[in-house]
Homo-oligomer: A and B are copies of this chain.
Amino acid sequence: MTQVEEICKKAKAAATGLATLGTAVKDKALLAMADVFEANKDAIFEANKKDLAAAQASGISGAMLKRLELTDKKIAQMADGVRQIAALRDPVGETIDGYLRPNGMEVRRVRVPIGVIGIIYESRPNVTADAAALCMKSGNAVVLRGGSEAINSNLAIAKLINEAITPVGVPEGAVQIIETTDRAAARELMTMKPYVDCLIPRGGKGLIKTVVENSTIPVIEHGDGNCHVYVDGAADLKMAEEIALNAKVQNPSVCNAAETLLVSEQIASEFLPIICKRLADAGVEIRADEKARAIVSGLKEATDEDWATEYLDLIYALKVVSGVDEAIKHITRYGSRHTEAIVTEDYSAARKFTSEIDAAAVFVNVSTRFTDGYEFGKGAEMGISTQKLHARGPMGIEEMTTYKYIVTGNGQLRG
């Protein structure tokens, strides 16, 4: 038996115990995890330094190095994040719905953990803590497989987690990490169908593609966010200005930031000079279509590729459309089905937009930046799912569960 297989088998055995573990024990384990991170941050820093040195030696760039680096602040955030997860309501055991059948059977759907979740991720070592905590709260065993750049940090964090949770009474094998970082191990994890119920890739497009193409285990994808703000002819233009700006600049590097601004031709000549000034003041580069450039001079020209691009940067594609129908058509063609917003005071336009747009989240008069587990009031999330099966939008602890039917009767037979 390979190491990967051994780990997955152990995780499956642990999942049985985890499924019926009381909320009190799980929360105690989570608080112990948070404490152990803070109490042993020097051990984490020491491991992290090895990763940073190796990264620098291999010529890894600034932004990636930043993501890899663990600081006092990041450790405190990691610990706080875990404490916030402990404070969430335990989703396991909830009766989702239930009813009495005419033959006297009581049918209930009860929320249970998925079982074993495999998480394949890239350079950020804090994912090790986040993912372990989310799986713990939702009663799932987890098999972690982090990127090679952060391997020392990941192993140190995973070791601390196990030191914290084992004395509390969490089954051994609940949180495990694959120690080798060779690709073969990741590929092997993708075929561990007898033991692993679900795989979640967290990282860039390449990683997600590899997992989708090679996994025989169901995958939950967290895809791109090519999000749009459409300013309708009937928009409150002051509100539109603030939403269009907030959606782009409040945090341009995240998936729920807007990438293209669509503006109705009805208000374009009034609105574009104002919003383009605001965006320019905020350091945003605008790539505009011909109609927009005819209204505001000096804008860069947008190509077809711009409509399809998730910049994750202070760049905004800008297009003038004839109205809500063309906006919907454009979004349907280029959007990534993440978050789409309309700004309008027109009831029918809002209704048409929410009805016809196919995306995880459709917003009226709200910044796209709100597609987020905390902002939706659900707490921490594994990511934002842009696929349609199982979980769509923020994937929190509730989405990390499944259900079983519990049916009780008094001798019912099928006739």
Contacts and interface: CB of A to CB of B under 8 A. Distances in A.
Interface string A381-415: 00000011110110000000011111111111111
A409 to B, nearest CB: 4
Contacts of A350: 408
B389 A250 contact: no
A16 to B, nearest CB: 7
Given A362-B405, A407-B370, A389 B198 contact: yes
Contacts of A404: 358-362, 392-393
Interface residues of A, number: 67
A107 interface: yes
Given A242-B413, A413-B242, A212 B220 contact: no
Nearest to A355: B20
Nearest to A412: B366
Given A358-B112, A388-B114, A243 B411 contact: yes
Nearest to A405: B361
B246 A389 contact: no
A20 B354 CA distance: 11
A362 B406 contact: yes
A94 interface: no
Contacts of A408: 350, 354, 363-366
Main secondary structure of the interface of A (DSSP, over half): mixed
A377 B375 CA distance: 36
A390 B393 contact: no
A46 interface: no
B414 A370 contact: yes
Contacts of A20: 355-356
Interface in A228-254: 236, 239, 242-243, 246, 250-251
A73 interface: no
A415 B370 CA distance: 10
Nearest to A411: B239
Contact of A393 (B197, B216, B405): B405
A304 interface: no
A367 interface: yes
A105 interface: yes
A212 B219 contact: no
Given A218-B218, A388-B115, A389-B389, A412 B370 contact: yes
Contacts of A219: 218
13 contacts: A105-B370, A197-B389, A218-B387, A251-B414, A350-B408, A364-B407, A366-B411, A366-B412, A371-B405, A376-B405, A389-B390, A392-B402, A392-B403
Interface of A: 16, 19-20, 99, 101, 105, 107, 112, 114-115, 193, 197-198, 212-213, 216, 218-220, 236, 239, 242-243, 246, 250-251, 332, 350, 354-356, 358-367, 369-371, 375-377, 387-390, 392-393, 402-415
Given A218-B387, A370-B414, 17 more contacts: A16-B332, A16-B358, A101-B375, A101-B377, A105-B366, A114-B388, A213-B216, A218-B219, A218-B389, A246-B414, A251-B414, A362-B406, A363-B408, A366-B407, A366-B412, A389-B389, A389-B390
